[in-house]
Amino acid sequence: MKNCFKTRGFLPCSDPDEKLTLGEDFEALDRLGEELPSLLLEDDCRRFLSQQVIPVWPCDNISPGLLSQARLYFVRLGFIASGYINQVGQPHCHSLPESIAKPLVKVAGLLGCEPMLSYSGYALYNWRRYDKSGSIALGNIDTLQNFVHLYDERWFILVHVEIEAIAARILNSIELWHSALGCVDASREARLQNAMDQICEAIVAMTKVLQRIPEKMSDQLFFSHFRPYIGHFDSVVYEGTGLTMSFSGEAGTQSAVMPALLAFLKVPHQPTRLLTHLLEMRHYMPAEHRYYIEQVEQIPDPKPLTPPELFDGILEALAQFREVHYHWVIKYIARRGKEDPPYLKWLKILIDETRRYKNQ
């Protein structure tokens, strides 16, 4: 496990860079990103964006010292690409100009990401702290890039960022539990139980943050103003690259938090189209996050070694987190759509199966 996983979860080991510092061309890309919410209000936004000279990543690799710069560069390009393809109020678009496509494909390849705005670009790399000594939590964080001039979008992203920060406690506890497993002295049982206690407390804390979504996010504005920008790429031609690609849009299901937790708890779920979709979403995660999940899947089952009431408490906390998510899906998406989406039934199945895995 990367050492920073235990302190930062799946967030970057150090706070994201706030500015590109690789030269004047990259500073111009920063300005373009800052202007994007205004540009997307204009009918000729696509024409304007296609005429911009966007610098290509200057190296054929990404050194550790430039990793944060590369991620910010990826964020800017990902937002520009999604804004171009999914511009609200404009016809469907299936072609990304070479000036955007080639730089995006190159940096995505170097980062091991898909060349589109995935969850990593939308949330994991897209935040800053006001007080660098303060916590990564609502009230002390802001976004670096947005699609619209609405705090609602910032709030939506930042809720996910705080949840990711809290999830570091889960990853640390998984490591503590695994380490205690090999302990042969009298402290073994207490250490195993303490780790599971911390996992339960972290899930409860994550749920409290998720419950705050309506505080500063309108369901009408979410559905009509900025959710469309994180929509699908359907047979998009990446001009100048010879590639035509389709991608699912950005989604919280591209976070590694829940897959890692489920991999540890060994919660069984029946095959559904949603479960297939969730497995497909792993392809949008950074490679090190996918590898971490695979490692956790190899850890022994904690259920037989955990007091039944504690293990059941963790499952109940997880079910309640899923229930909050389920209600927000209804409020912010299903009620705004024209059809009853089948994934509501599948989400309910996940909740029921989580509770069904309890000891009693």
Q: Which residue has the higher pLDDT, 335 or 342?
A: 335
Chain-wide mean pLDDT for the chain?
A: 95
pLDDT tens digits, 85-121: 999 999 999 999 999 999 999 999 999 999 999 999 9
Q: What is the DSSP string of 211-252?
A: TTGGGS--HHHIIIIIGGGG--EEEEEETTTTEEEEEPPP-G
- pLDDT band at residue 28 using 50, 70 and 90 as cut-offs: very high
Question: Are 298 and 1 within 8 A, CB to CB?
Answer: no
> Which pair of structure tokens corresponds to residue 202?
């972290």
pLDDT of residue 329: 92
| Confidence band of 340 (pLDDT split at 50, 70, 90) | low
**Stretch 72-82: mean pLDDT:** 98
Q: Which pLDDT score is estimated for 270?
A: 86
Query: What is the distance, to the nearest Å, from the Cα of residue 153 to the centroid of all Cα atoms in its chain?
Result: 14
With CA atoms as reference, report the closest residue to 233 among 108, 51, 138, 143. 108
The per-residue pLDDT for 149 is 97
The CATH architecture that domain 169-217+252-356 belongs to is Up-down Bundle (1.20)
Span 255-284, pLDDT tens digits = 999 999 999 999 999 888 888 988 999 999
Do the beta carbons of residue 27 and residue 35 sit within 8 Å? Answer: no
The token duo for 21 is 């510092």
The least confident of 78-82, 187-191, 197-201 is 187-191
- Look at 5-14, 173-182, 227-236, 340-349 and tell me which has the smallest mean pLDDT: 340-349
The model carries a pTM of 0.96
CA–CA separation, 314 vs 312, rounded Å? 5
Residue 338: per-residue pLDDT: 62
CA angle 349, 353, 359 (to 5 degrees): 160
Domain with CATH 1.20.58.480 in the chain: 169-217+252-356
For β-strands 95-96 and 233-238, DSSP reports them as: parallel
Distances (CA, A) of 27 to 9, 36, 39, 54, 91: 30, 14, 17, 10, 31
Query: What is the average per-residue pLDDT within 294-316?
Result: 97
Single out the residue of 338, 358, 334, 357 nearest to residue 346, CA to CA: 334
Report the pLDDT averaged over residues 4-22.
Answer: 97
Are 333 and 347 within 8 A, CB to CB? no
Position 343 pLDDT exceeds 90:
no
Amino acid at 23: G
Of the chain, the percentage scoring pLDDT greater than 70 comes to 99
Torsion angle defined by CA atoms of residues 180, 186, 192 and 195, in that order, rounded to the nearest 10 degrees: -90
Element (DSSP H or E) covering residue 309? helix 308-332
Using one digit for the tens of pLDDT, what is the confidence trace for 215-227?
999 999 999 999 9
pLDDT the model gives residue 6: 93
In this prediction, residue 22 carries a pLDDT of 96
CA-atom Rg of the chain in angstroms: 21
Residue-wise over 113-135: b if at least 16 C-beta within 10 A, else e?
bbbbbbbbbbbbbbbbbeeeeee
If one counts every other C-beta atom within 10 angstroms of the C-beta of residue 169, the result is: 19
Beta strands in the chain (DSSP E): 95-96, 128-129, 141-142, 233-238, 243-247
Q: Chain centroid to CA 338: how far?
A: 27
Q: What is the pLDDT of residues 129-159, one digit of tens each?
A: 999 999 999 999 999 999 999 999 999 999 9
Q: Are 85 and 46 in contact (CB under 8 A)?
A: no
Looking at the predicted structure, is the pLDDT value of residue 339 above 70?
no
